[in-house]
Structure 1
Amino acid sequence: MKILITGSTGLIGKQLLDHLKGHHLILLTRNIKKAQLSLNHLALPHVEFVSDLSSFPNFNDIDIIINLAGEPIADKKWTKKQKKKIIQSRCELTQQLSELCLASSTPPSCFISGSAIGYYGNHDNKNIDESMQVSLPDFTHQVCQEWESKALQAQNDNTRVCILRTGIVLSQSGGALGKMLLPYKLGLGGPIGNGKQYMSWIHIDDMVSAILHLVFEEQSHGIYNITAPHPVTNRVFSQALAGTLQRPHFLFTPKLLIKTILGESAVLLLDSQRIRPKRLVNEGFKFRYSRIESALKQLLQ
C-alpha cells in the first residue's frame, strides 16, 4: 500500500515506521535532510520524502493517511504566540489533508488523525469513554475539537476517518517519561499536589499496535481513546516509577509551584482524566501492557 505519514520523526511516528517497512511510505516533513538523518537507522526500503503538499493535486494514488504532526504541546509555556503555533501546526495541515481527500475521485480508504484526551478536560474520578460529549472553554479542548473537526471533514462512503484521542505515551525514547526520569533517579521523585488526579497513559508498543489495528480493521471509524484500560492516580504512577527505579518516594511538588512555573499549561499535570479505551476493547484489541507496573518494568528494566 501507499501510505502518507505526517509527524514521522516524532516519538510515535518513528516507532510506527518500523512496522510499515513493506509498504511504500511518503513522509511529509518540514526538513527532509534532518528527517533522513533521524530515520536512517530504520533502513526503510520504499520511502520518499516531501516537504509540502503542493505536488499533490489530489490523493487518488494514496491508500492510507496517518496524520501525527503537531507542535509539542508540553515543551513551552502557553504564550499567545505558542498557542497559535500549537493550533496552526495541527489544524491547517489537517484541513489541507481533508481537502485533498475530498478532491479525489478514488480517495484514501482510511484517514487516521491525531488528537488527545485533553478534549475531555478535568473530570476528577469519573470514568470517561468515547461517548462523553463535552463543550469547554479550556485551550486543550478547543485545540482537540478543532483538530478533530478538520479531519472528520474527509469522512464519506469512500474514506473512513479514525481519531486518536491519545493519553500520555510512555517510551524509553523520550516524551513525558524521559522528562520524569532524572529527578526520580536522583531520589527527588514524588506526586504532584495531593496525587489524586488520574493519569491516562499508554505504552508506546500498544500505541503503535492500536494505530495498526485501526489502519487494517476495515470496520473501524470515528473516535477512539488510545489509552491503557487501567488509568492510575498520579500518586500510584509516582510510586510505581520510583519502585521500578528502586529510588525513594517521599517528596511532593505543590500545585502552586507547578502553576507558577507552567502557567496555564499546568493543566496537563493537574487535570484528572480517568479515560477508558472502550471502543478498542469492544473491537477485540489486546493490550500488551494494561497495568502501569508491567509497562514501566518493560521500559526501564
Structure 2
Amino acid sequence: MKIVIAGGSGFIGQKLTNALIDDGHEIIILTRKEKTSTGNISYLKWLEEGTTPESQLGNADVFINLAGVSINDGRWNLNHQKQIYDSRMRATDELLKIISALPQKPSALINASAIGIYPSSLDAVYTEESIETANDFLGKTVHDWENKAKQVETYSIRTVFMRFGVVLGNEGGAFPLMSLPYKLFAGGTIGSGKQWVSWVHIADVVRSILFVIENDKIHGPVNVTSPSPIRMKDFGKTIGSVLHKPHWLPVPSFVMKLALGQKSNLVLKGQQVIPQVLMKEGFTFMFPSLNSALEDLLTKK
C-alpha cells in the first residue's frame, strides 16, 4: 500500500515507518524539513508557505496523522499549551485540505489521539464506549482534535482515533524520565501512588496501528493500552524489581507540581483504560504484562 504519514519523524513515527517498510509498503512522509527520498520512503514538504503536497502525492491508500508538538517536552505554560493545541489543529486542517484535493480519496485516516480524553479517576474503568470527557487542557485538546479529524468522514473515509496510553520506549516519551531515578538509586512512589497508569509498550503501539490498517472493520476510538493497567505505586515497584534497585524515595505531589506545573497531571493523575476494541477484534499483545515490557526495555542491550 501507499501510506502517507504526517509526524513520521517523531518517537512513534520512526518506529512505525520502519515496520511499514519491512512489510513492503511505500511511505510518503510529510515534513517541514528538506530530506532526500531513499528506497521506499519519499519526503514531501508541507505546512510551509508555497508548499502543495497534494499536487505531488498521487493516489494514497491510507493517511496516518501523528503530527503535533510533543506533550512530554517543555513546561506546560500557556505558550507551550497553545503550541500543543495549535500544532494539532493546524496539521489536521492541512490534512483535510490535502485529502479534499485528491481525485481519489484514501480508504482510511488513522489519527493519533490520547487516553487523556477520559477524566482522571481512581475507580472508573474506561473503554471506547465511555462518553465522559475530561474538562482539563489535555481532555479539551484531544476532544477537539478528534472532532476535527472526524470531518474527513464527509468523504466516506474510515476514520480511527488511536488513543495512546503511556507509551513505554527507550527512545522517547515519558519512560526514560520515569525510570531514571531508579537507575540512580532514588526511585519511589510519585504522588499518592494510587493513580492509574494505563501503559503500552512501543512495539505494541506500532503493531496495533498495523493491525488497524489491515482490519477495515475497525473505526472510531481505539484505546492503545495494555490489557493490564496498574497503580503508580506498583508501576514504580516493578521498575525497581526489574532493575534490582530500591523503591524507597517518595516524591510528594507538591514537589511534582512545583517542578512541572500543570504538566505534573500526566503522572499525578491517571485513568484505568481497557483496550476493548483491540481485544474484541483479536489483537494479540506482545507485552501484555508490565513485567515483560520492562524486562524487554530495561535489561536487553
TM-score class, shorter-chain normalisation, is over 0.9
Amino acid at match of 1:25: I
Residue in 2 aligned with 1:10?
A: 10
Whether 2:46 is the aligned partner of 1:48: answer: no
Residue in 1 aligned with 2:27?
A: 25
The number of aligned residues is 293
Which of 87, 102, 107 aligns to 2:100? It is 102
Distance 1:127 1:55 in 2: 42
Distance 1:55 1:73 in 2: 27
Which of 70, 82, 85 aligns to 1:84? It is 82
Unaligned residue ranges in structure 1 (runs of 5+) = none
Instruction: Kindly indicate whether the alpha-carbon contact (under 8 Å) linking 1:31 and 1:51 is maintained by their aligned counterparts in 2.
Output: yes
Which of 121, 137, 140 aligns to 1:139? It is 137
1:234-261 per-residue CA deviation (whole Å, 9 max, x = no partner) reads: 0111000011111011111000111111
Distance 2:294 2:215 in 1: 29
Residue in 2 aligned with 1:272?
A: 270
Q: 1:49 to 1:104 in 2, by over 3 A?
A: closer
Secondary structure, counterpart of 2:152 in structure 1: coil
Distance 2:298 2:159 in 1: 35
Q: How far 1:268 moved relative to its partner?
A: 0.6
Instruction: Kindly indicate whether the alpha-carbon contact (under 8 Å) linking 2:222 and 2:277 is maintained by their aligned counterparts in 1.
Output: yes
Whether 2:191 is the aligned partner of 1:197: answer: no
Amino acid at match of 2:40: H
Q: Which moved more, 1:171-180 or 1:125-134?
A: 171-180
Instruction: Kindly indicate whether the alpha-carbon contact (under 8 Å) linking 2:62 and 2:108 is maintained by their aligned counterparts in 1.
Output: yes
Instruction: Kindly indicate whether the alpha-carbon contact (under 8 Å) linking 2:257 and 2:264 is maintained by their aligned counterparts in 1.
Output: yes
1:276-297 per-residue CA deviation (whole Å, 9 max, x = no partner) reads: 0001111111111111001100
Amino acid at match of 2:79: K
Secondary structure, counterpart of 1:218 in structure 2: coil
Unaligned residue ranges in structure 2 (runs of 5+) = none
Secondary structure, counterpart of 2:200 in structure 1: strand
> How large is the Cα RMSD of the aligned pairs?
1.7
Q: How far 1:193 moved relative to its partner?
A: 1.5
Q: Which moved more, 1:173-182 or 1:121-130?
A: 173-182
Distance 2:108 2:129 in 1: 22
Whether 2:123 is the aligned partner of 1:150: answer: no
- State TM-score, norm by structure 2: 0.92
- State TM-score, norm by structure 1: 0.92
Secondary structure, counterpart of 1:66 in structure 2: strand
Q: Which runs of 4+ in 1 moved over 4 A?
A: 57-60
Secondary structure, counterpart of 2:295 in structure 1: helix
Secondary structure, counterpart of 1:155 in structure 2: helix
Which of 243, 246, 254 aligns to 2:244? It is 246
